[in-house]
Chain A
Amino acid sequence: MSSELRPPEPWHSFLRDLDDALQVPARLDCIGGFVVTQLYGLARPTADVDVIELAPREASEALMQIAMQGGPLHRKHRIYLDRVGVAAIPENYEERLTEMFPGAYRHLRLMALDPYDIALSKLERNSQKDRDDVRYLSRTVPFSLPTLQQRYEAELRWQLGRPDREDLTMKLWMEMLAEK
């Protein structure tokens, strides 16, 4: 896991500009490639920070305007904030958030989802890149497969539109992660 006090470039400059634009404390709940690379050490580039929650609400509109794809900070740094609105996430994820780079910015607090929650947020899409990320997390953390299954059943399954289909995906994942 990363123990750096601030993220590497171009992330630091991008986040510092974002921080400078804030007048009040703001919290970003982060998910996806940015967290997997910065907190769990996967060596792959990503062009965006996937955010599932941005609080307070008053700050979120202004931040998204300058930092979303096509906005001034994207044009300057070639990376951007992406608000992920559709992913189903285990219901108690907020209790398990970890702060990334605490104290690195004046107003901005970057919160990372727990690795099991990150993995489960990818279940519905289940693309090759999602499976690769989940496999990586499973080996690095490392995952307890019964914990993953239990969290799926207790905190995620009831939220899903097609739970029968996702049961099959979960079965695939368990087989895949159990393979050497």
Chain B
Amino acid sequence: MTGNDLKSARTASNWTQAEAAHRLGVTQAYLSMVERGNRPVSDDLTSAALQVFPLPATARPIEDRPAAKAGEEFFKRALGELGYPGFAYMESQQLLNPAELLLLALDSEDLDARVTEALPWLPFHFPEMNWNWLTSESKSRDRQNRLAYVALLASDVAQKRGDTQIAEKLHSRVTALERSRLANEDTLAKSSMSQAERKWLRTHRTPSAAHWNLLTDLKAEDLQHVF
């Protein structure tokens, strides 16, 4: 979160700096410096702001969480909390930034197929997520092909729904990953896939999945029901 985000949230709530500072538990002078960018937004201030203002999930702090610790239940509850219809009925205390959740899922060895099909929903509903961080972290973990394919699926769904602006925005993210495309064959977070499925998918996957060297048959037309 930036000072500008904080200022936008405050003005959208029609609060003066003094009122907001009181609710956030800081001084007006400090809040003024943060809003002008003269001080960083600390983790404590971010947490307080998330409680006080109706901020979007993309404003949540991104934590350094290992994918190995995030089990199937974790992903489902976190997706439900963000509003994903398939898991919306599950109770959750997980308050994750959508970009962090997407990276954790993409960096998993074995996701439930229903979690995998939920992933394009994240960039579709949070196109303003922190792409610079997501792209850089994905590359450092060799997950850029997975990220590109998920963004491509989200873009295709947006196109089919007539959301041209979102489709173009997401497609530009895919294009930006083209130069770092990996040549090694991978799955879409499904390393337990049987040899028979691997062999079958090599001939039955979409041209886009083949382009991104992924063994998956997930297609935009399969995803209409999850949006």
A interface, CB within 8 angstroms of B: 10, 44-45, 47, 77-79, 126-129, 131-132, 135, 172, 175-176, 179
Contacts and interface: CB of A to CB of B under 8 A. Distances in A.
Interface in B182-196: 190, 194-196
Contact of B113 (A45, A47, A132, A172): A132
B114 interface: yes
B88 A128 contact: no
Interface string B68-94: 000010001000000001111110000
Interface residues of B, number: 23
Nearest to B87: A45
B112 A176 contact: no
B117 interface: yes
B197 A129 contact: no
A18 B112 CA distance: 30
B108 interface: no
A135 B222 CA distance: 20
B89 A176 contact: no
A10 B196 contact: no
B88 to A, nearest CB: 5
A47 B196 contact: no
Main secondary structure of the interface of B (DSSP, over half): helix
A40 to B, nearest CB: 16
Given A45-B76, A129-B113, A175 B196 contact: yes
Contacts of B50: none
B114 A172 contact: no
Contacts of A126: 217
B89 A128 contact: no
Count chain B CB atoms within 10 A of each CB in A10, A128, A129, A179 and give the residue with the most.
A128
Interface of B: 72, 76, 85-90, 112-114, 116-117, 190, 194-197, 200, 216-218, 222
Nearest to B187: A128
Contacts of A128: 113, 116-117, 190, 216-218
Given A128-B116, A128-B190, A129-B117, A47 B86 contact: yes
A126 B113 CA distance: 12
B190 A172 contact: no
B204 to A, nearest CB: 9
Contacts of B87: 45, 47
Contacts of B197: 131, 172, 176
A45 B194 contact: no
A44 B194 contact: no
A47 B195 CA distance: 31
Nearest to B88: A78
A56 to B, nearest CB: 28
B114 A129 contact: yes
A44 B72 CA distance: 9
Given A127-B217, A129-B114, A172 B89 contact: no
A10 B89 contact: yes
A176 B218 CA distance: 18
A172 B200 contact: yes
A47 B200 contact: no
Contacts of A135: 194
22 contacts: A10-B89, A44-B112, A44-B114, A45-B76, A45-B89, A47-B87, A47-B88, A77-B89, A78-B88, A78-B89, A126-B217, A127-B113, A127-B217, A127-B222, A128-B113, A128-B190, A129-B112, A131-B113, A132-B112, A172-B197, A175-B196, A176-B194
